Amino acid sequence: MNLTSVDECLTALSSVIGKSNRFIGLHEPTFQGNEWTYVKSCLDSGWVSSVGEYVDRFEKMLCEYTQIPYCSVTTNGTSALHVCLILMGVQQNDEVLIPALTFVATANAVSYCNAIPHFIDTCDLTLGIDVEKLASYLSEIAEIRNDVCINKYSQRPIRAVVVVHVFGHPADMQPLQVLCKKYHLKLIEDAAEALGSYYNGTHVGHFSDITAISFNGNKILTTGGGGAVLTADDLLAKRAKHIITTAKVMHAWEFMHDEVGYNYRLPNINAALGCAQLEQLSKFIDNKRNLCTKYIKAFEAVSYAEIFKEADFAKSNYWLNVLILKKADRAFIEILIDQAYQHNYGLRGLWKPLDQLPMYQNCPKMDLSHTHQMYDRIIALPSSVCLSG
């Protein structure tokens, strides 16, 4: 641990963010467009709840933006993920491969299906799933019986992979698609953080069967709380709409529901906010990428660490900028975050690797030593859209 380096980091931070009298959070929303008008029109018309013109408009705008044909907006990203897993046939006693380095919601959604998260290691290039390691791991633990991938050690079916585009950086999808095909695994994209991110020139969400996005208050675009399920498959899209709408069968006045559904529809008032935010997304992304460039420059002077950069195949939305230490150093992270708070900068550590949380510590996993090391190397920096206007 090196106190001079802590000072160097603080200097670099203040050269980008400037001095501030108020606390600067990790990620704060910005409302400078039609948010006020659209939300007010919901209040004026009384259409505040789960049907309304903004819901339809927001879904249409998301399809246009991502070029994915079908979209259902949901109460949050976690419910969107839950729906994705249900529609991919994940059920009780299945295993679902997910990275150990993600927000807890990815694992929780698996648990809501009474299935078991199975943790995968992370690679340096994308901070997402290490596809090469996953390939060699599957060759060791998996076998195909009757077209189903079985974990030889637990005897449970491995049904799906949830790939996460961590901090908005696309995972390496092409080899992952090949691997999932080989092992008969469904592929789901947790693009909660990645609206506006592209892999080889195509928006994320095109590389899997079904995709979840989040519009939580700290994401690049917010509806207050909200999420979306996106797919190119019309039958899956119909099923998604159905189960998020309490499985209600269309009828003018009768209450008929044909299965156990969920109340996961996004309210109109939230969708109104989403429409106004989506109108500004290109500008948000420009700002984010600008901010990243500034951070990269400022931290060139710091030999101890560097700012994470997108891979060659990626165009990232840079939802969250992160600093990566060259060597794992927990003490450094703790002191830097503590010192930064005294300058009103809200830095954060990484999510605790999920295999270390009490409810997930007995789940199956591959060797996660790299993930555990990353936990002691990564610091998230203030990344709000307004920081680089």
Ligand X SMILES: *Cc1c(COP(=O)(O)O)cnc(C)c1O
Residues that bind ligand X (CB under 6 A): 76-78, 81, 102-103, 105-106, 164, 190, 192-193, 214, 216, 227
Measuring CA to CA, how many Å separate 133 from each of 75, 119, 140, 160, 245?
35, 12, 11, 17, 39
Q: 44, 45, 55: which is closest to 268 by C-alpha?
A: 55
Comparing every residue's Cβ against ligand X, the nearest one is: 77
Q: Which is closer to ligand X, CB of 71 or CB of 81?
A: 81
Q: In the complex, what is the shortest distance from the CB of residue 2 to ligand X, in angstroms, rounded to a whole number?
A: 31
Q: In the complex, what is the shortest distance from the CB of residue 158 to ligand X, in angstroms, rounded to a whole number?
A: 20
Measuring CA to CA, how many Å separate 322 from each of 26, 122, 309, 385?
11, 15, 9, 15
Q: Which is closer to ligand X, CB of 5 or CB of 211?
A: 211
Q: In the complex, what is the shortest distance from the CB of residue 26 to ligand X, in angstroms, rounded to a whole number?
A: 12
Q: Which is closer to ligand X, CB of 5 or CB of 231?
A: 231
Three state DSSP letters for the chain: CCHHHHHHHHHHHHHHHCCCCCCECCCCCCCCCCHHHHHHHHHHHCCCCCCCHHHHHHHHHHHHHHCCCEEEEECCHHHHHHHHHHHCCCCCCCEEEEECCCCHHHHHHHHHCCCEEEEECECCCCCCECHHHHHHHHHHHEEEECCEEEECCCCCEEEEEEEECHHHCCCCHHHHHHHHHHCCCEEEEECCCCCCCEECCEECCCCCCEEEEECCCCCCCCCCCCEEEEECCHHHHHHHHHHHECCECCCCCCCCECCCCCECECCHHHHHHHHHHHCCHHHHHHHHHHHHHHHHHHHCCCCCEEECCCCCCEECCCCCEEEEECCCCHHHHHHHHHHHHHCCECCEECCCCHHHCHHHCCCCECCCHHHHHHHCCEEEECCCHHHHC
Contact 204, 177 (CB under 8 A): no
Residue 182 makes CB contacts below 8 A (sequence gap 6+) with none
Q: In the complex, what is the shortest distance from the CB of residue 227 to ligand X, in angstroms, rounded to a whole number?
A: 5
Q: In the complex, what is the shortest distance from the CB of residue 228 to ligand X, in angstroms, rounded to a whole number?
A: 10
Q: In the complex, what is the shortest distance from the CB of residue 98 to ligand X, in angstroms, rounded to a whole number?
A: 10
Q: In the complex, what is the shortest distance from the CB of residue 362 to ligand X, in angstroms, rounded to a whole number?
A: 22
Q: Which is closer to ligand X, CB of 183 or CB of 318?
A: 318
Q: In the complex, what is the shortest distance from the CB of residue 81 to ligand X, in angstroms, rounded to a whole number?
A: 6
Q: In the complex, what is the shortest distance from the CB of residue 329 to ligand X, in angstroms, rounded to a whole number?
A: 25
Q: In the complex, what is the shortest distance from the CB of residue 99 to ligand X, in angstroms, rounded to a whole number?
A: 9
Q: Which is closer to ligand X, CB of 81 or CB of 273?
A: 81
Q: Which is closer to ligand X, CB of 102 or CB of 317?
A: 102
Q: Which is closer to ligand X, CB of 221 or CB of 298?
A: 221
Q: Which is closer to ligand X, CB of 94 or CB of 190?
A: 190
Give the span between the Cα atoms of 341 and 320, in whole angstroms: 18
Q: Which is closer to ligand X, CB of 106 or CB of 126?
A: 106
Q: Which is closer to ligand X, CB of 81 or CB of 221?
A: 81
Q: 378, 220, 381: which is closest to 298 by C-alpha?
A: 381
